[in-house]
Structure 1
Amino acid sequence: MPLPSASKEPDDSQTWELAERCLLPIAFSHAIAVILATILNTLSISQTSSFVLFLLLLVISVGFTLFYHNLKVTAAGKAVLITGCDSRVGYTLSKQLDELGFTVFAGFNTKVESEEAMQKLKQEASGRLHILQLDVTSEHDIHSTFLYVNENLPDGAPGLWALIHAAAWVTLGECEWVPSSVLRRSVDINFIGLARLTQVFLPLIRRSKGRVVIVSSLLARIPSPVRGIYCAVKAAVEAWAACLRLEMRRWGVDVVIVETSEYVSGNAWLKDNSSLLEQARDMWTQLDPQTRKEYGQELFQKEMLALERYTQKTDIDLTPVTRALIDGVMKTFPMRKYTPVSRQERIQALCSDYLPKPVYDILYVN
């Protein structure tokens, strides 16, 4: 299973993103250089080395790639809607996008529980920022938000530039433990609410040729015990987002996925440090006696201790995550997927994607 970093690592995610951008131009440069050199030498037009042609094409293609990789849109006159601003990621992202000049619509799950955070954000931000109550599972909140955003877009804005899904609800526990009510709520918040909100706002996003930015998790690609439900809903979100990206290409709408690390998604999206442990205890008490007997109190205690690490170190650095989200909003040509995770987690994800499963299990499971 992926492990949280005990110490702060340098953020090399931008290097990986640039390498991913340049990989295809480098491959094409080499192929075209070989073909051109073969044709020129065969026709006796020129005895040019394929290596020289490769270097020339490499400089041109990589230079062009770097140019469009770093292009950014102008923030002035553009509006973004962010869900889950009662989380650290959503709250921080709202402040940063406001500072960059965007008109920000910050959606909080409930006014009652988030009143203090709402007031603090309003005081720290500019007059362009709007505070909204947005429960993604509430049809009333979704349509009320749509009407408010549509009426308060910046002057001259054709529509909404970006819809950022930062709301999430972490469900942990053995797959057999999770009650149907908890399972249903997890699916409602993490998938159905996200999909429904996107459906409602897509007309506004199409008008501005904007983008949908989705906060996902590396667990969508890495099966992990005790996180089965969360793995499943995040995998569903990524599959849905991939289909949406293909469908929206005809309108010039981008769909961007930001995969966070296990530690961030299991900690920073929580409202308080005791919620995970309370959730685990509720799951255990709702199991039938026979199931509790078969698992045993000792195993339950072990799982509880494993979950406690999610409730610690709430000051973990979120800079790589917010940087990736801002790039997804501001880059003229954003990446399809950003993975601001540690090097260890990135290597594990690559092993999960490309190694035979028995080999992966030997390395990371057994």
Structure 2
Amino acid sequence: MPPPNTNKDTDDSQTWELAERCLLPIAFSHAVAVILATILNTFGISQTSSFVLFLMLLAISLGSTLFYHNLKVTAAGKAVLITGCDSRVGYALAKQLDDLGYTVFAGFTNKIENEELAQKLKKEASGRLHTLQLDATNERDIHSTFLYVNENLPDGAPGLWALVHAAAWVALGECEWVPPSVVKRSIDINFIGVTRLTQIFLPLVRRSKGRVVLVGSLLARIPSPVRGIYCAVKAAIEAWGTCLRLEMRRWGVDVVIVETGEYISGNAWLKDNAALLEQARDMWTQLDPQTRKEYGQELFQKEMLALEKYTQGPEADLTPVTRALTDGVIKTFPLRRYTPVSRSERIQALLSDHLPKAVYDIIYTN
């Protein structure tokens, strides 16, 4: 298992996003320039070269793309529901969107346990921010939140502008070790809860022609040992989110996937890192004696040390993730996918997508 990413690489995700958006206009400008120059030269209308036409069209298309890329919606009268505000990501996003002028409904998975954090957020934010009890695996929480949000939308708002799924629950361990109860909980929180909450709130989002923002993971594309369950549920979210985007186009609803990198370390997603290690020990003790014997205590200790590197490492810089989630909410024309990851992770993902798997495994598999 590779060491945790401390995010010391320069954040160049915005450069990649702009390059991705400019790629099609550049290709279009070149194609049109060649066709137009051929027509003009064939009929003797003009002897203008395709290169000159390309430069002219490129300036126009890139200027339009930059304007298009940076357009933002007006925050006044728009409401956003965010789940998982008891995590660093959800908390920071709720505060940032409130500062930008949005009406924020901040959902806490367990508000009673996090009452102090909820009160701190309420104190730091404006009067527009609401803190709610919202466990996405609890049907009663989902419906009560729907009623509350529907009754407390800003004046004149047709519906909910954005639904942001920031809640996450990480389960790490060898695939054979993970008991059914842990698999079920991971699927319930990271997938079923997300899909169910989205189903309930889609009518409100559809009325405002808003967007659904999903937190995916690069691990869905570059799966690795010990994180099998987490990789699987994130792959499910990515596939489901892509299908939802295609289905929602007729309604003018955007579905944005923010593909994060290694943000497990340093209390980034986890409130209690010690619980992750305890969870791994419980998995080990629940294995039957024969399986434990075959794996061996030495392998278990080695993987526990690897997990400790994740849970005891320096706190990850979540600014790129928060920025990407914010862009998914505030941009008039958001990208379908944001990938706020380090340069090394981006290269690894590109190699995983395009290299033969046998070659990729030689490079990255220990």
TM-score normalised by structure 1 residue count: 0.98
How far apart, in 2, do the equivalents of 1:16 and 1:264 lie?
23
Render the CA deviation track for 1:125-154: whole Å, top value 9, x for unaligned.
111100100000000000000000000000
Q: How does 1:36-185 map onto structure 2 within 5 Å? A: 36-185=36-185
Q: Equivalent residue for 1:211?
A: 211
User: Residues 3 and 24 from structure 1, CA distance in 2 versus in 1: closer, same or farther, beyond 3 angstroms?
Assistant: farther
User: What amino acid maps onto 1:198 in structure 2?
Assistant: T
How far apart, in 1, do the equivalents of 2:113 and 2:355 lie?
45
- Tell me how large the CA RMSD over aligned residues is: 1.3
How far apart, in 2, do the equivalents of 1:2 and 1:129 lie?
40
Q: Tell me, what secondary structure is at the counterpart of 1:8?
A: coil
Cα pair 1:80 1:103 within 8 Å, conserved: yes
Q: Tell me, what secondary structure is at the counterpart of 2:206?
A: helix
Q: Tell me, what secondary structure is at the counterpart of 1:63?
A: helix
Q: Equivalent residue for 2:328?
A: 328
How far apart, in 1, do the equivalents of 2:362 and 2:306 lie?
21
Q: Tell me, what secondary structure is at the counterpart of 1:274?
A: helix
User: Residues 55 and 236 from structure 1, CA distance in 2 versus in 1: closer, same or farther, beyond 3 angstroms?
Assistant: same
User: Residues 305 and 265 from structure 1, CA distance in 2 versus in 1: closer, same or farther, beyond 3 angstroms?
Assistant: closer
Q: What displacement does 1:112 show? A: 2.5
Q: Equivalent residue for 1:28?
A: 28
Tell me which moved more, 32-41 or 306-315: 306-315
Q: What displacement does 1:265 show? A: 7.7
Structure 1, unmatched stretches of 5+, are: none
Q: Tell me, what secondary structure is at the counterpart of 2:114?
A: helix
User: What amino acid maps onto 1:135 in structure 2?
Assistant: D
Q: How does 1:163-242 map onto structure 2 within 5 Å? A: 163-242=163-242
How far apart, in 1, do the equivalents of 2:195 and 2:245 lie?
13
Q: What displacement does 1:20 show? A: 0.1
Q: What displacement does 1:309 show? A: 1.6
Q: Equivalent residue for 1:312?
A: 312
User: Residues 124 and 323 from structure 1, CA distance in 2 versus in 1: closer, same or farther, beyond 3 angstroms?
Assistant: same
Cα pair 2:102 2:128 within 8 Å, conserved: yes
Identity %: 83
Render the CA deviation track for 1:192-241: whole Å, top value 9, x for unaligned.
00000000000000000000001111101111100011000000000000
Render the CA deviation track for 1:55-113: whole Å, top value 9, x for unaligned.
11111111111010000001111000000000000011111111110000000011222
How far apart, in 2, do the equivalents of 1:18 and 1:83 lie?
28
Tell me which moved more, 6-15 or 61-70: 6-15
Q: Tell me, what secondary structure is at the counterpart of 1:111?
A: coil
How many correspondences in the alignment? Answer: 366
How far apart, in 1, do the equivalents of 2:193 and 2:239 lie?
16
TM-score normalised by structure 2 residue count: 0.98
Q: What displacement does 1:269 show? A: 1.2
Cα pair 1:170 1:266 within 8 Å, conserved: no
